Structure 1
Amino acid sequence: MAFALTEEHADLCSVAADFAGRFADTRVTREQLDSYGNGEPAPFWDDLVANGLHALHIGEEHGGQGGTVADTAIVVEEFARRLVPGPFLSTVLASAAVAAAGDCKASASGLAAFAEGARGTLVLSSAITGTSAAEGGWLLHGTANVLSLQSADLLVVGFNDGGTTRFALVDARSAGVSRRVQACTDLTRDAGILELSSVAVGSEAILENLGASRVETLQTCLLAVEAAGVSRWAVEAAAEYAKLREQFGSPIGSFQAVKHKCANLLITAELAAAAAWSAVVSLDQDEDQQKLAAGAAVQAAIAPSAEAVTEAVTIFGGIGFTWEHDAHLYWRRAMTLAALVPAMNDASASLGRVALEQDRRIDIELPDEDPAFRARIGELLDHARTLSNEHDGGRWYSRGSQRTFLAENGLAAPHWPAPYGLGATPAQQVVISQEYARRGMTQPSSVIGEWAMPTVLAYGSEAVKEQFALPTLRGELIWCQLFSEPGAGSDLAGLSTRAAKVDGGWELRGQKVWTSGAHEADWGICLARTDSEVPKHKGLSYFLIDMRTAGVDVRPLKQSTGDAEFNEVFLDSVFVPDAYLLGEPGQGWRITAMTLQNERTQISSGVSVGTEDALRSMITQGTYAGREHDALSSLGRIAAFSSAIGALNLRETLRQVNGMAPGAGSSLAKVAHARLTREAASRVLALAGPGALFAQAPGDAVTGQLSVPQVLIGGGTVEIQLNVIAERILGLPRG
């Protein structure tokens, strides 16, 4: 997917792509590499300025387009994908920092100059200091390695003034400014060593009200956006090559190893885009949220970009390692982005300190929101808060309970159609989620019922709908899913459970396995074969089974953790009335596909997926075997990718809210989350140290590690999901 989430941004992306195609084709760029390294003006710069793409975030009163940094980010990402050369990134970063200073003399003059076409760069270095000058102002001293230094007309310089970081707008030709040319790793840009020797800066050049944290977030978010563009090129180029390149008589994209490489690249690219987008969004949030978002962007977007190109090169093979191939140009650019952020281990620990106290959150802005709808939801939830959730024994909630009230007012599953839900649109679901969150309330879950009921509502009779819908929402009925079998896991269509037609219904025989919660379920959704004479996908039918029917034998499966959440279920001549066959015989595969798609998307204002809780607990309790820095660094990394996965899901929600076609985010997030859970469990176990000798290890490390397989295997193994991503999303050929 591209970075854009709205039709307007999609149009802007097209404009940027068109400009890059006309003025900055990589073949032309290759012919001009020497000039870029010397800082000579890009031949298309005047055209860029004429199109206003450099000034989208600059106010109209200063000659800009009056847009936002988010608008500029669209262009940055597309330009990175197309390897547009020159100082565009450095210039928009410098001007965005100036714009963030607000209304001051230096800001007004600087923005006007940038809007007219001045090139610039941002200088962030602890080695730059300022001392008070006798006649007022400051004298700047120090050195820094700076990207696009040679081509810059204006420098936005951060300097240390007695422990306070100030920012000044400095003419690159000022007395005392020395720029030593250095060959840049990125051959499409220049770089150099800036030396400041008693450079005089008056108070009129100071960018007032501009804090270091804000500038650091700006730099990180635009670097991350560019990294996302590089990663997008890597997956697109690699996948396209894999479709065309043949070995052993077949396209290499049909080989499973290559499929997995390409699918993993896509996951990397989409997490990078999500983390970068989250960082851009954070510019309108508080400082702690900016730190969380920027830290995640470093970990999930900037750091992986060079490795993404490396992985693409392994798909290209020897040709990708040649000078003539574009891969090394993108590779070099990714390396320079990583060079502009703090050392990774230090950055992880710093993020961990912030993540220890809070999660990353985003308040989604909704187009054309109906205030009356929000007010009505708020009133209902306020009333719900006054109700208890006491049971009438067992699992039954009292008739006046909070759970019952929410269910009967459509707020347990608001996306379901009336009268069981509200038929809520994606935008309305976001409003409802926000109102739950503002009150510290959690939307009720019926777990498997959330997958089963939309299918029942689509294919069941009116009597069946009434029998199951509200009782499920009220928590009176528990469901299980009878799909997997000993010989049919990921290959679900290969199942062998049989359903034979009998008078008034069907008789089922077979065995199911890995059935979560079957030991306490009231009803199960079951897939069985009703026709053995047709292709395996076409002979399946979909049934609802009363788990207390004669012939249903549930046998717990004790897991490696010692718990027994899974079960074997034996069906021995189990009678299912005709009313509980959903759809027609033979429609089971199509109906099952709907069930598997109905795992409810978590629509919320939060973007943490909760994989870091054990690490937080260990740090808070000091049970990390004396390695505080390692513990904080581990928390920072896990929180970063947790945030990126949550942002990926949130972007999918916004696509729906904005009326755009759904992307691939939910499929990719599932694999990413499984892997992150595995890594988090491993880090907790390592931090437990000698404590892991005992079953009750710190952070529940032993149980956490033993529980990982159910995440990696449940719902289809990661490897099968990678095949699906490669074939259905990237379009790679089947093997």
Structure 2
Amino acid sequence: MPLYLAEDQADLATAVSDFADRFADIRQTHENLDSYGAGGRPSHWDELVANGLHALHISEAHGGQGGSVVDTGVVVEEFGRRLVPGPYVSTVLASAAVAGAADCKASTRGLDLFAEGATGALIMPTAAVTALATGEGWALSGQVPVASLLSAEWLVVGFADEAATRFALVNAESEGLSKVAGSSTDLTRDAGTLVLEGLLIDVDDVLAGLGVQYVETLQAGMLAAEASGIMRWAVEATTDYSKIREQFGKPIGSFQAVKHKCANLLITSELATAAAWSALVALDQGVDQQALAAGSAIQGGIVPSVDALTEAVTIFGGIGYTWEHDAHLYLRRAIATVAQVAPVGARATALGRAALELDRRIDIELPEEDPAFRQRIGMLLDDAAALANEHDGGRWNSRGSQRTFLAENGLAAPHWPAPYGLGASPAEQVVIAQEYARRNLLQPSSVIGEWAMPTILAYGSEDVKEKFALPTLRGELIWCQLFSEPGAGSDLAGLSTRAVKVDGGWELRGQKVWTSGAHEADWGICLARTDADVPKHKGLSYFLVDMRAPGVDIRPLKQSTGDAEFNEVFLDSVFVPDAYLLGEPGQGWRITATTLQNERTQISSGVSTGTEESLRRLITDGGYPATDDAAYAALGRIVAVSSAIGALNLRETLRQVNGLQPGFGSSLAKVAHARLSREAATVVLQLAGPAALFAQAPADAVTGLLGVPQVLIGGGTVEIQLNVIAERILGLPRG
């Protein structure tokens, strides 16, 4: 999904795409490749300025559109997708930096100039540029490579002396400054070396109050937005090509290897979009959050773009390697984008150090919030906070407990319909989650019950709903899921457990396996075959099974970790009353889809997925020296992807809050999280070193890796999920 999360930004993206069609089509870009390296304003610049696309983030007082930096990010992403040539990104980076400064002579002058259509470039502080204090300001000397330097009419130059780091607005024709042209990697933009030979910076040229972290975050967010657009093109172009290019008499998109390549491209692209968005919204947060967001945008958004475009070329095959094809132009731009955030390794280390004790957090702002609703929820949670949760034999005691109060007031599962929940909208769920967090209260979870109960509420009788709903919410009933079988894992419809009609109900026979928590469960949701004479998806029915009924035999399965969380469950003539058949016989597959879609919306301001916790513990508790950059760089890379996954999930919530159609982010996030879990566990093992000779190695270095297959297999293997993404989301043909 694109960067935008609101309807007005969606309209903006459409308008930007129309602009590219009219004034900067890729065919025109191919025809004019020889001209862009010389610099200057491209032919479409006047139209771009006339449409205000350069000044969305500049206030109306200075002649801009009065929008946000995120609005400009939407344009950057779409221009990246369409490979619009010229210095747009460098210009908006410079002008947005100026807009982030305090009101001063330099910012006023700069905003007026950029609003009028001046081009610009941003030069981050670097050791290659030295600043010598003078009586009236500073004299700058040094050399630094700069993207779109030859086109820039005004420069925002960062520099540092012994006292502070500053940014100044500089005319690109100033004395003491020269531009040395170079052969640009990105053929649609120029590049040059900025040579400073005693360039004088007056005090009035300094952009007051402009912090280094703010500008770094701005740069990371905008360049990640461009990387997102580049990768969106790769996803769309390779998917379209895979549908029509035939080999061996079939479209290449029907081959699993190509499906997986395309699906992986989509995942990488979506993580980049989420990381870019996270960085841009961090501009309104503190410097700690900005540091985390900037690092994530670089490692999770910008850096992967080169591999993604390289992979795209391999999907196109030989044609993608030709000069005439668009692919190398996009790859060149990706390379140039990564070059602007170098050195990448040092940035990963810096992110790891910043993330050692901090998580990325984003506060959700709600449009048209109802204050009365928040007040009512707050008062109920205040009452709940005064109550204690009591445990009785591992189960919740229902008398006077906090959980019972929450359940009976609709706050244990507020998204459920009344009378068991509040029928809370996505926006109301955000309010409730925020109020829980303010009081440091944990919203109750019934685990598998959160899948089972919405299905029961949709298909069960009133008596069945009443029997199960509140006891489940109060924690008095525990559920398990009797789906998988020895011969039916990812191919769930291939199950063989049989249900035969008898007087008053059904008799179930069969074997289930990998059933989490069956040894503790009171009830199970169970799929069984009631008709063997119809196609396998159509002969299934959905039952509620009493786990203590005669004929239920539960046998724990000891895992490679030594734990026994899973079980085999044998059903030997287990009787299930008619009332506990949900829906009609043969509707089981459709009802199961309801179950699998009813995971509770996870709404939180936390963006981290927690995948990095073991690595954090290894560094903090495992005696890793503070000078060991390898461990911190590894943590930085893991945190970057973890934060991008969390931001991807959060964006799904915000789409719903803003009234847009839900996307497919959660499906992509599952695959990304499974892979990241494997990578994180592997890194912990490698850093643990000889300590992994012992089972109780620090930070779960051994048990963590032994448990990774559970993540990779559970809920359908990664490979099956990639097939689903390729076929159902990208529309590639079945094999």
The residue correspondences of 1:304-323 to structure 2 (distance < 5 A) are 304-323=304-323
Matched with 2:64 is 64
Deviations along 1:265-298, one digit per CA (max 9) or x if unpaired, are: 0000000000000001100000000000000011
Q: Which amino acid aligns with 1:249?
A: G
1:155 and 2:139 aligned:
no
Q: CA deviation at 1:34?
A: 1.7
* Structure 2, gaps ≥5 residues long: none
Q: CA deviation at 1:621?
A: 1.1
Q: Which amino acid aligns with 1:399?
A: R
Matched with 2:684 is 684
Q: CA deviation at 1:380?
A: 1.4
Indicate how the Cα distance of structure 1 residues 693 and 625 shifts in structure 2: closer, same or farther if over 3 A, else same.
farther
Q: CA deviation at 1:623?
A: 3.9
Q: Which amino acid aligns with 2:668?
A: L
Matched with 1:493 is 493
1:713 and 2:733 aligned:
no
Within 1, Cα distance between the matches of 2:28 and 2:266?
28
Within 2, Cα distance between the matches of 1:569 and 1:293?
46
Within 2, Cα distance between the matches of 1:309 and 1:111?
35
Q: CA contact under 8 A between 2:40 and 2:152: conserved in structure 1?
A: no
Q: Which amino acid aligns with 1:128?
A: V
Matched with 1:668 is 668
Matched with 1:546 is 546
Matched with 2:39 is 39
Q: CA deviation at 1:406?
A: 1.1
Matched with 1:126 is 127
Q: CA contact under 8 A between 1:691 and 1:698: conserved in structure 2?
A: yes
Within 1, Cα distance between the matches of 2:213 and 2:720?
43
1:77 and 2:80 aligned:
no
Matched with 2:284 is 284
Q: CA contact under 8 A between 1:176 and 1:196: conserved in structure 2?
A: yes
Within 2, Cα distance between the matches of 1:438 and 1:631?
34
Q: Secondary structure at the match of 1:363?
A: coil
Q: Secondary structure at the match of 2:237?
A: helix
Within 1, Cα distance between the matches of 2:514 and 2:730?
31
Deviations along 1:8-27, one digit per CA (max 9) or x if unpaired, are: 10000001000011111111
Q: Secondary structure at the match of 1:330?
A: helix
Q: Which amino acid aligns with 2:129?
A: I
- The RMSD of aligned alpha carbons is 1.1
Deviations along 1:643-694, one digit per CA (max 9) or x if unpaired, are: 1000000010011111111111010000001001111111111111000000
Q: CA deviation at 1:163?
A: 4.2
Q: CA contact under 8 A between 1:624 and 1:688: conserved in structure 2?
A: no
Matched with 2:30 is 30
Within 1, Cα distance between the matches of 2:421 and 2:215?
45
Deviations along 1:561-595, one digit per CA (max 9) or x if unpaired, are: 11111101000000000000000001000000010
Matched with 2:361 is 361
Matched with 1:558 is 558
Q: CA deviation at 1:626?
A: 9.1
Indicate how the Cα distance of structure 1 residues 127 and 445 shifts in structure 2: closer, same or farther if over 3 A, else same.
same
Matched with 1:438 is 438
Matched with 1:16 is 16
Q: CA contact under 8 A between 2:681 and 2:705: conserved in structure 1?
A: yes
The residue correspondences of 1:501-580 to structure 2 (distance < 5 A) are 501-580=501-580
Q: CA deviation at 1:398?
A: 3.9
Q: CA contact under 8 A between 2:436 and 2:442: conserved in structure 1?
A: yes
Q: CA contact under 8 A between 1:609 and 1:642: conserved in structure 2?
A: yes
Matched with 1:645 is 645
Within 2, Cα distance between the matches of 1:695 and 1:86?
57
Deviations along 1:192-231, one digit per CA (max 9) or x if unpaired, are: 0101112122222111111111111111110111011111
The residue correspondences of 1:142-541 to structure 2 (distance < 5 A) are 142-541=142-541
Q: CA contact under 8 A between 1:623 and 1:688: conserved in structure 2?
A: no
The residue correspondences of 1:42-121 to structure 2 (distance < 5 A) are 42-121=42-121
Deviations along 1:385-436, one digit per CA (max 9) or x if unpaired, are: 1111112444132411111111111111110001111100000111111111
Within 2, Cα distance between the matches of 1:344 and 1:450?
42
Within 2, Cα distance between the matches of 1:702 and 1:370?
49
Q: Which amino acid aligns with 1:132?
A: A
Q: Secondary structure at the match of 1:410?
A: coil
Q: Which amino acid aligns with 1:115?
A: A
Q: Which amino acid aligns with 1:133?
A: T
Within 1, Cα distance between the matches of 2:141 and 2:272?
36
Q: Which amino acid aligns with 2:612?
A: E
Q: Which amino acid aligns with 1:126?
A: A
TM-score by length of structure 1 reads 0.99
Indicate how the Cα distance of structure 1 residues 78 and 186 shifts in structure 2: closer, same or farther if over 3 A, else same.
same
Within 2, Cα distance between the matches of 1:414 and 1:471?
15
Q: Which amino acid aligns with 2:322?
A: T
Q: Which amino acid aligns with 1:253?
A: G
Deviations along 1:61-114, one digit per CA (max 9) or x if unpaired, are: 111101110110000000000000000000000000001012111111111111
Q: CA deviation at 1:467?
A: 0.5
Q: CA contact under 8 A between 2:295 and 2:348: conserved in structure 1?
A: yes
Q: CA contact under 8 A between 1:625 and 1:688: conserved in structure 2?
A: no
Q: Which amino acid aligns with 1:643?
A: S
Q: CA contact under 8 A between 2:398 and 2:474: conserved in structure 1?
A: no
Matched with 2:585 is 585
Within 2, Cα distance between the matches of 1:638 and 1:139?
41
* Structure 1, gaps ≥5 residues long: none
Within 2, Cα distance between the matches of 1:202 and 1:396?
70
Q: CA contact under 8 A between 1:391 and 1:398: conserved in structure 2?
A: no
Q: CA contact under 8 A between 2:622 and 2:698: conserved in structure 1?
A: no
Q: CA contact under 8 A between 2:175 and 2:199: conserved in structure 1?
A: yes
Indicate how the Cα distance of structure 1 residues 691 and 320 shifts in structure 2: closer, same or farther if over 3 A, else same.
same
Deviations along 1:609-651, one digit per CA (max 9) or x if unpaired, are: 1111111111111344998322211211111111100000001
TM-score by length of structure 2 reads 0.99
Q: Which amino acid aligns with 2:439?
A: R
Q: Secondary structure at the match of 2:141?
A: strand
Within 2, Cα distance between the matches of 1:613 and 1:132?
45
Within 1, Cα distance between the matches of 2:131 and 2:164?
10
Deviations along 1:37-84, one digit per CA (max 9) or x if unpaired, are: 010320010000000000000011111101110110000000000000
Q: CA deviation at 1:130?
A: 2.3
Q: CA contact under 8 A between 1:624 and 1:698: conserved in structure 2?
A: no
Within 2, Cα distance between the matches of 1:341 and 1:618?
28
Q: CA contact under 8 A between 1:392 and 1:398: conserved in structure 2?
A: no
Within 1, Cα distance between the matches of 2:325 and 2:441?
54
Q: Which amino acid aligns with 2:132?
A: T
Q: CA contact under 8 A between 1:515 and 1:566: conserved in structure 2?
A: yes
Deviations along 1:158-186, one digit per CA (max 9) or x if unpaired, are: 11122411111110011111100001110
Q: CA contact under 8 A between 1:557 and 1:568: conserved in structure 2?
A: yes
Deviations along 1:295-347, one digit per CA (max 9) or x if unpaired, are: 00111100000111001111000000000000000000000111111322211
